[in-house]
Amino acid sequence: MLSVIIPVYNVQDYLARCVDSVLAQTYTDLEIILVDDGSIDESGDMCDDYATGNERIRVVHKPNGGLSDARNAGLDVARGDYVTFIDADDYVHPQFAELLMNTIATTGAQIAACTWQELNEGSTPRKVKTHKPACTIYTQEGAIRSVFYQQRLNHSACSRIFETRLFNELRFPEGALYEDLAIIYPLLKMVDKVALIKAPMYYYMHRPGSIISTMSLRRTQVLDHLEALEQQVAVEAPQYLPAVRSRHMSACFNMLRLMPASDPKWQPTKQRCWQYVKNMRNLCIKDWNVRLKNKAAILLSYLGIGFLMWAINKK
């Protein structure tokens, strides 16, 4: 059985689309766990309405604790052998579960992922080829390198199905942003095979006002996660250090691009990112696996932070 965990917080305008897309799945051996994370709109009542008369749907009501806390609450009650996470403002293709579960069965992968489509409100997903989509199999090492070099695999917990046992002693860090990035390395350390099918069956919605679309100092937590991970792999798995450095460098460039340069409260973050860029650019520029976008920014950095920030904010 597949457990589908959907954290719910003040998404009354999007929830029906999400839940209906799961109910329409061609793979039917599943349970839907709606975790109402202290919603103050109609979302909690909508969850209860969906559960009425539908034994496949269970609802967990809890005080607001954030996305990680809601996912963890879902994991605590999940009964499936496999688990997937869908954000309540996103939705999925009708064959999302079927194709990924079939991929697990045929490849023996502990994690199966699909690609996704990024959509704006009102836009329509493009047609998905679901007949024998291309499939890439990654070893543990290949998956870790692909994620942190930002190649075909990303770090998201969405758009994939996991063996539930991987979460037996692992939970999302509560109260943190970029919670997916914080757990992807320990997850991948427990597997020997990851499968990625080239079928964009997860529909990721860009929603105005969402946390990820709003620039705030909380978003600098990505630097904390990567700094801790870099220290960890330097000790236990130094072969992955160049890949993690590449991801850390990318996060620094992104922060420099997004932050309001003239706001004094951003100066410590600005200096933190700039110091990392200066310290690591000579190593990263020589790494063939570092993506070209990062290498272009590294080259600009040799002309100084002022020119770098002007150039990356100009595009």
Q: CA 292 to CA 89: how far, in whole Å?
A: 32
For the residues of 194-237, what is the DSSP string, one character each? EEEEEEEEEEEEE-TT-GGGS--GGGGHHHHHHHHHHHHHHHH-
Angle at 73 between CA 67 and CA 79, to 5 degrees: 130
* Tokens found for residue 161: 């199905």
pLDDT at 295 over 70: yes
**Token pair in block for residue 251:** 């996060």
pLDDT of 238: 97
Letter string b/e over residues 148-161, b meaning 16 or more CB atoms within 10 A of that residue's CB:
bbbeebbbbbbbbb
Distances (CA, A) of 60 to 75, 93, 163, 172, 200: 11, 25, 22, 17, 29
pLDDT of residue 235: 97
pLDDT of residue 211: 54
pLDDT of the residue at 262: 78
pLDDT reported for residue 286: 96
278-305: buried (b, 16+ CB within 10 Å) or exposed (e) per residue? eebbeebeebeebeeebbebbebbeeeb
Cα separation values, 255 from 175, 176, 181, 249, 261, Å:
20, 17, 16, 10, 10
pLDDT score recorded for residue 70: 98
pLDDT in tens, 105-123: 999 999 999 999 999 988 8
Place of tokens 């046992």: 165
Which of 125-129, 279-283, 300-304 is the least confident region? 125-129
pLDDT at 314: 67
Angle between the 241-258 and 305-314 helix axes, to the nearest 10 degrees?
80
**What pLDDT does 19 receive?**
98
Q: What is the pLDDT of residues 31-52, one digit of tens each?
A: 999 999 999 999 999 999 999 9
Give pLDDT, residue 237: 97
Q: What is the pLDDT of residue 261?
A: 73
Residue 177: per-residue pLDDT: 87
Of the given ranges (52-56, 192-196, 217-221, 283-287), which has the lowest mean pLDDT?
217-221
Residue 277 reports pLDDT greater than 70: yes
Q: Domains of the chain by range and CATH?
A: 2-211 (3.90.550.10), 215-314 (no CATH)
Question: What pLDDT was estimated at residue 218?
Answer: 83
Distance of CA 284 to the CA centre of its chain: 24
Predicted confidence band at 17 (pLDDT cuts at 50, 70, 90)? very high
Do residues 301 and 281 make contact, with C-beta atoms less than 8 angstroms apart? yes
CA 30 vs. chain centroid, Å, equals 22
CA angle 277–281–282, rounded 5-degree value: 150
Pick the more confident residue, 189 or 123: 189
Could you read off the pLDDT of 205-252 as tens digits, one per residue? 987 655 554 567 888 999 999 999 999 999 999 999 999 999 999 999
Q: Kindly report the average pLDDT of the chain as a whole number.
A: 94
b/e sequence 171-187, b meaning 16+ C-beta within 10 Å: ebbeebbbbbbbbbbeb
Expressed in angstroms, the distance from the first to the final Cα of the chain is 47
The three-class DSSP label of residue 115 is strand
